[in-house]
Amino acid sequence: MKNIAYYNGRIAAIEDMMIPMNDRACYFADGVYDAMFTVNHVPLSLDDHLARFYRSARRIDIEIPMPYDELRAMVVDFCKRVDSPDAMAYVQVSRGVGMRNHPYKGAQSGPSLWVWVKPDGLDPMMREYACITAEDTRYLMCDVKTINLLPSVMYAQRAEEAGCDETILHRGERVTECAHSNVHILKDGTFITAPCDNLILPGITRAHRIAQCKEMGIPVEERPFTVSEMMDADEIFFTSASALCCRVTMIDGKRVGGRDTALIRKIQQAAWDEAIAEAGIAPVPFK
């Protein structure tokens, strides 16, 4: 099948799914989500993503209405059932269905659970990426993977209109993250990335790249860095479930990075090796 979806017990194609008007996801974006990508029908870093999903839900007082092992099995099964070996797998929980009212202790149905898988692919790593920058005007709980994504939608639209791929966000001089990824720099052989606090999402891919760099003996600094440090960095790259390690060579129309190709390629190769090992496919060069 092309794609597959689950919502509160019903399974069908995504296009055939309906949700109740009173689901609090519609009124308040009152929920959290997580997303991962598959290679060879295998969702990469599945347990990391699902663990964060349950953590995010707990942070906003929602209990996911399915035990971990059952949800995990459903995601694995859906990834096998879609035709495309390359796909995006998505899980979302909202607080449930009830007459519109901001407080949530009243009559509710109990949380609603979404799962779907649709064809999609990893962002190519051989490509060079262009970004714009923007003041980070999001709220101060960016560590929770909320479905309230209005700022990201606006940032993505602006990037697209500028012919760019991502928006790098900053609060004043301090770089936080991108609209849908984490951003990092390489300077004098050191991997520098913003610390995990309430200003960024603790990216699963970020954590994997940090762990791999440490294993390879590449020094890692988790500390705030500035826009000017970024513009002057040897390399700039962003990471997310779809972007294992994507190199940025243009920011706000200026050429940037491009001064440590060997190191960025080494990190990309390690990212790709990890992905194909997990997916159980024979080594092939990354695109």
Binding site for ligand PLP (CB under 6 A): 35, 177, 180-182, 201, 203-206, 239-241
Residue 62 or 201: the one with the smaller Cβ distance to ligand PLP is 201
Residue 88 or 97: the one with the smaller Cβ distance to ligand PLP is 88
DSSP category for residue 122? P
* Residue 9: CB minimum distance to ligand PLP, A: 27
* Residue 208: CB minimum distance to ligand PLP, A: 8
- Could you list the beta-strand ranges (E) of the chain: 4-7, 10-12, 31-39, 42-43, 87-94, 112-119, 129-135, 166-171, 174-178, 182-187, 190-193, 220-222, 235-239, 246-251, 254-255
CB 30 within 8 A of CB 24: yes
* Residue 138: CB minimum distance to ligand PLP, A: 8
How far is 220 from 193, CA to CA, in rounded Å?
8
How far is 179 from 98, CA to CA, in rounded Å?
31
Known catalytic residues are: 145
Residue 181 or 268: the one with the smaller Cβ distance to ligand PLP is 181
Residue 180 or 247: the one with the smaller Cβ distance to ligand PLP is 180
Residue 97 or 115: the one with the smaller Cβ distance to ligand PLP is 115
Give buried/exposed letters for 205-234 (b at 16+ CB in 10 A, else e).
Answer: bbbbbbebbeeeebebeeebbebeebeebb
Q: Record the tokens describing residue 100, joined without a space.
A: 């519109």
Residue 8 or 208: the one with the smaller Cβ distance to ligand PLP is 208
* Residue 142: CB minimum distance to ligand PLP, A: 7
How far is 39 from 52, CA to CA, in rounded Å?
21
Q: Record the tokens describing residue 115, joined without a space.
A: 């799962």
* Packing angle of the helix pair 46-59, 68-81 (nearest 10 deg): 130
How far is 112 from 97, CA to CA, in rounded Å?
7
Taking the CB of residue 126, how many other CB atoms lie within 10 A of it? 11
Residue 28, classed as helix, strand or coil, is helix
